[in-house]
Structure 1
Amino acid sequence: ESAPVPASPAARKMARTRGVDLAEIEPTGKDGQVVVDDVKAAAPTQDAGGGQTAEEDIFGPVKRRRMSSIRAATAKAMARSWQEIPQVVHEDEADITELELWRRRQGDDAPTMTPIVAKAAAVVLRDHPRFNAMLDTETDEIVLKQYRNINLAVATDRGLVTPVVRGVDDKSVRELAREMEELSEKAREKKLEKSDISSGTFTITNIGGIGGRGLAPLINPPQTAILGLARARAEPVATGELGECAIPETRMMLPLVVAFDHRVIDGADAARFTNDLVALLADPVSLAMTT
């Protein structure tokens, strides 16, 4: 019976996993020992469609799953966003106490916060057109969109999709709520068409239903900004001017985060944008009167 082939423990394990005969491998290790690199050379790592990398095999069992087409497309878009766009995040909070009281009075018919914020954001975008734009790097021009179509981030079992609601500033909150629900249902049932995901000018992502105090969303290229919403919370807020006896009040506060393309938008612009959005969300009567 022939003697065992000298090999490192890791090389021996890898060869066993890959079904490689150690006796057929040309050793390069010390004293004629087969090492991991020798096994790699004898049996190159399989592609992403199956198999495991050598490093994964060494440390323990793993599973590989091919990305869905949606997640793969999202991965490419997010990589492009991160690599090409200098992104800055600006955070604020909106006092939505009166808005939440109004919502609760609607009972089972109450719209969620997403269509309400979408309506407010679309109105504010009229006065802040650089947030509703794209940058043409070929001509060094900022393309200001004269319409406000908002992408809504929807999580599905295949990945994140962003269907579009068109003409948001011209629709009522209840119209937006119905349309968003229909689009979300189509997304979950894999029935979205190309027209459902094209022509967006601004994106909103809302993780409030899941949790979290904040987020740093990535811009949806070629757009110049994205608005993120976290979970609203009842918190004590001191009221009154400095020097007076401030009395804490319990207010419902909604965290807002806007990520913007710093090539097109400055920090002061972002502060003004969120200031206007916060003011509108704090005044449901004014919001209801916007068209």
Structure 2
Amino acid sequence: MADLKEAHVPDIGHADVPVIEVLVKVGDRVEKEQSLITLESDKATMEVPSPFAGVVKEMKLKVGDEVSEGAVIAVIEADGAAAAPAPAPAPEQGKDEAPAKPAAPAPAQPTPAPVAGQGVQPGIAPEGDVAPQVRPPVDARVVMPGDAPYASPAIRAFARELGVDIQQVKGSGRGGRIQRDDVSAYVKHALASGARPAIGASASVGGLSLLPWPKVDFAKFGEIEEKPLSRIQKISGANLARNWAMIPHVTQHEDADITEMEAFRKQLGAENKDVKISPLVFQIKAVVAALKAFPQFNASLDESGEKLILKKYFHIGIAVDTPDGLVVPVIRDCDKKGLLELANDLAVISKKARDKKLGPAEMSGGCFSISSLGGIGGTYFTPIVNAPEVAILGVSKSVTKPVWNGKEFAPRLVLPLSLSYDHRVIDGALAARFASFLANQLGDIRRLLL
């Protein structure tokens, strides 16, 4: 007998994550760790691999389905002889077979009103007949009493994070269910129209007063092409708009002389050719040293905006450019790792980001973020703080400049730094000290190795 096994959704850290792509079909042969489906949360796109090799016998999911941990993706005929009998299918409701283990009784639910034009309620057979029950269509008015919004706990938490009164959001899902995109669209509309969303006390004073977004028929000026944004771009846009509107940003610029650091980096790379040692690993080490020296940067405001939470760990977020948009995976415990280990972690997490294999644990818990454009160009820029963090470092392209050394101008490799910070938590003097300390760390390689 064939060994039929079910492939399940692993712990993805979120509930109701949509399936955006089905990568296999019935009859396909899959190898262990081969991707079956692609999921897209508010922070990243991730592919779910098969836990074993075999032939796909049945697909349980389709594009658009929302899944959580434990959902069945597919039934696969696993390779090799049957190790255990396949699980018996559940008996159909209405048959005489009793389940092996009786389920706990469900709590009583309000009885839905009869459907107009029908003599019986959906899912209830007429008296005297035996028929399979039909699941009634989902209706928010039945599931949620009164005028309560129909949304999962994850969506409610997302709305609170954005400062949105979920009562004001109209759901576009089945039965009026509120989706993440509905919350994001509500924030975008509020920002564009000048309407003030219902937000927390920390941002309720004054509100936003913006002109409506201009409506332009671009086609009358020439040929155009419409290209939809990816889901990550849509949600990132809402997050960035919130962060820019609600956090009072200030950006401090500084130059770091990295001449000696770059020489050491090239030497280290020549001695360890199996690991790519980029300037970013040195920047991570310098940031950790600065966070230890200035703990107010390694902090977050609580939801009330009245308490500062100081963190004793050092997890650094790294902005990674992917075809679907910008994601910020997190490298953990950077204070406990050397340059080579950080280089390896950076390579692994960057590849996973581009291959859409980041898990939720790799996208959360960051203390401070680094956005590096050094491989592209530019001088300085203003990175947007990644809430609930209070600061972010922007790194531009290094350039050789003549620098006065007290006797003459000498060529030095200079790295432009841009430190954006939340002015509610950090004042200008503290930010200038942090940026100067950071530049000194990068300028003296001996400090980084302590």
The TM tier, using the shorter chain, reads 0.7 to 0.9
Matching residue of 1:269: 430
Partner of 2:176 in structure 1? none
Native 8 Å contact 1:150 1:203 kept in 2: yes
Q: Is residue 312 of structure 2 the alignment partner of residue 150 of structure 1?
A: no
TM-score by length of 2: 0.50
> Within 5 Å, which residues of 2 pair with 1:112-261?
112-138=278-304, 140-240=306-406, 246-261=407-422
Q: Which runs of 5+ in 2 are unaligned?
A: 1-184, 186-214
Task: Tell me by how many angstroms 1:61 deviates.
Answer: 2.9
CA deviations 1:194-214 (Å, max 9, x no partner) are 111011110001000011111
Residues 56 and 252 of structure 1: CA distance in aligned 2, closer, same or farther (over 3 Å): same
1:13 counterpart residue number = none
1:98 corresponds in structure 2 to: 260
Counterpart of 1:67 in structure 2 is: 229
CA distance in 1, matches of 2:358, 2:399: 33
CA contact (8 A) 1:103 1:110 kept: no
For the 8 Å contact 1:104–1:110, the answer to whether it is kept is no
Cα displacement (A) at 1:57: 3.0
**Unaligned segments of structure 1, at least 5 residues:** 1-47, 241-245
Tell me by how many angstroms 1:191 deviates: 0.6
**Residue deviations 1:140-166 (CA, integer Å, cap 9, x gap):** 111111111110000000000000001
| Mapped partners of 2:422, 2:446: distance in 1 | 32
- For the 8 Å contact 2:276–2:347, the answer to whether it is kept is no
In structure 1, what is the Cα distance between the partners aligned to 2:251 and 2:237? 21
In 1, the alpha carbon distance for the partners of 2:436 and 2:427 equals 14
1:87 paired residue number? 249
Equivalent-residue separation in structure 1 for 2:300 and 2:321 (angstroms): 25
For 1:282, the aligned partner's letter is G
The secondary structure found in structure 1 opposite 2:435 is helix
Instruction: Give the fraction of aligned pairs with identical amino acids, expressed as a percent.
Output: 39
Distance change >3 Å, CA 54–CA 81, structure 1 → 2: closer
Alpha-carbon separation, structure 1, partners of 2:404 and 2:322: 40
Q: Measured at CA, do residues 249 and 110 of structure 1 come closer, stay the same or move farther in structure 2, by a change above 3 Å?
A: farther
Aligned to 1:287: 448
Deviation at 1:139, TM superposition (A): 5.2
User: Cα gap change, 1:77/1:280 in structure 2, threshold over 3 Å: closer, same or farther?
Assistant: same
The letter for the 2-side match of 1:115 is V
Please tell me the residue identity of whatever aligns with 1:80.
R
| Pair 218,139 (structure 1): closer, same or farther in 2 beyond 3 Å | closer
Across the aligned residues of Structure 1 and Structure 2, the Cα RMSD in angstroms comes to 1.6
Q: Name the SS of the counterpart of 1:148 in structure 2.
A: coil
The 3 A distance-change label for structure 1 pair 54 and 218 is closer
Pick which of 168-177 and 262-271 moved more.
Answer: 168-177
Tell me the TM-score normalised to structure 1 length: 0.77
State the aligned residue count: 233
